[in-house]
Structure 1
Amino acid sequence: MNAEQKLTPPAIGQIWPGQGGIYGGIRQYPEGLCHVIYAANDVPGRHAFGDYGVKVDAESRTDGRANTKALLANEGVHHAAIAAASYTADDHKDFYLPAVGELNQGWQYAPESFAKDWYWSSSQRSANHAFLLHFEDGIQFIYVKHGECFVRPVRRLPI
């Protein structure tokens, strides 16, 4: 397979061979336009967001990679971010916990790829709450950080 074929994405919602999961479309990020790739599966089990009562600079609603980096750099334990960042697929180790906007894109364009349940985002609302999204009906909500929800890692690939 040549380089051009490797960078040609499949239809949104389809597995992108060799890229670690399901193609989710294109988004604008600080580094420019990127392809979004959702892990093909949830991290097993349910996970707490973690570090209840501690506010971390992880408030972006669009950049989950920056949020995850901030959460992992904090001295506390952020279970959902750790679970997402530990995920690997197709030898890719650059997964992270998606921001609420990245989750919303998954709900809009590839909802059949997710369980009809609550998923944590990396977007913290306060010291006690973070954003999550319900994949049955697209409801965005804030929830206490010690509650347990699903985690779906995501990665991005510059265009």
Structure 2
Amino acid sequence: MNAEQSIQPPAIGDIWPGQGGIYGGLRQYPEGMCHVVFATEDVGRHAYGDYGASTKATSRTDGRANTAILIARKGKHPAAIAASAYTADGNADFYLPAIGELHHGWQYAPESFATDWYYISSSQRAADYAFSMIFGAGLQDFNGKDGELRVRPVRRFLQ
């Protein structure tokens, strides 16, 4: 058992000291049930990038996998670059959330997000569009990959 697994999480929506942000609860991933931690702040507004080019970053549930695909495209995805560069409490494993992870944030910790502008996800919808979410209305949508939307990093680790 590693140190992260032996720590008792706080209430959902509260800051998790030492874990880099706001506790978002548990979520199932390919590697198993994981704790989800959203950064306490946005890292600006950035474009998804690579407008007109199709990528394989199409998972609606696994932002870590999507972000790895986008980062491998060498500088073409500003939102993924900004999210993966974020560090907090010594944690440097943040990534750009998939649309399902943003929805998870809206379900369990909506007060932790801004409500005045869309958040971009790592989930591509088409060559010109990526999925996005606005927290005020709880609306999932899609925006042009060249538009600059809010970026909120997320990380996860096994329960």
Alignment TM class, shorter chain as reference? over 0.9
Give the partner amino acid of 1:18: G
- Provide the secondary structure at the position in 2 that maps to 1:52: coil
Q: Equivalent residue of 2:87, what SS?
A: coil
Measured after TM superposition, the shift of residue 76 of structure 1 is: 5.2
For residues 107 and 149 of structure 2, the distance between their equivalents in structure 1, rounded to whole angstroms, comes to: 20
- What is the aligned partner in structure 2 of residue 33 from structure 1? 33
User: Is the Cα contact below 8 Å between 2:36 and 2:156 reproduced in 1?
Assistant: yes
Question: Deviation digits for residues 50-84 of structure 1, max 9, x if unmatched?
Answer: 11011110000000000000011124510100000
Distance, in Å, in 2 between the alignment partners of 1:4 and 1:96 is: 18
- Structure 2: where are the runs of 5+ without partners? none
Q: 1:53 and 1:5, CA in 2 relative to 1: closer, same or farther beyond 3 A?
A: closer
Counterpart-to-counterpart distance in 2, 1:79 and 1:31: 27
Q: Partner of 2:55 in structure 1?
A: 56
Query: SS in structure 2 opposite 1:65?
Result: helix
Q: Could you say which residue in structure 1 is the equivalent of 2:87?
A: 88
Distance 1:42 1:33 in 2: 25
Secondary structure of 2:126 counterpart: coil
Q: Which residue identity lines up with residue 46 of structure 1 in the other structure? A: R
**1:109-143: CA deviations, max 9, x gaps?**
11110000210000001110000000101100011
For normalisation by structure 1, the TM-score amounts to 0.95
- Once residues 51 and 87 of structure 1 are traced to their aligned partners in structure 2, the CA distance between those partners, rounded to angstroms, is 21
Per the normalisation by structure 2, the TM-score is 0.95
Aligned residue number for residue 129 of structure 1: 129
Deviation at 1:157, TM superposition (A): 1.1
Query: Where does the alignment leave 5 or more consecutive residues of structure 1 unmatched?
Result: none
Give 1:4 shift: 7.8
Maintained 8 Å contact 1:56/1:74: no
Alignment partners' CA distance in 1, 2:23 and 2:9: 7
What residue is the counterpart of 1:97 in the other structure? 96
Letter in 2 for 1:115: A
**1-structure distance, mates of 2:42, 2:73:** 24
Distance in 2, Cα, partners of 1:90 & 1:48: 26
Q: Which residue of 1 aligns with 2:143?
A: 143
Q: Is the 8 A contact 2:119 2:132 kept in 1?
A: yes
- The answer to whether 1:77 aligns with 2:76 is yes
CA distance in 1, matches of 2:5, 2:148: 39
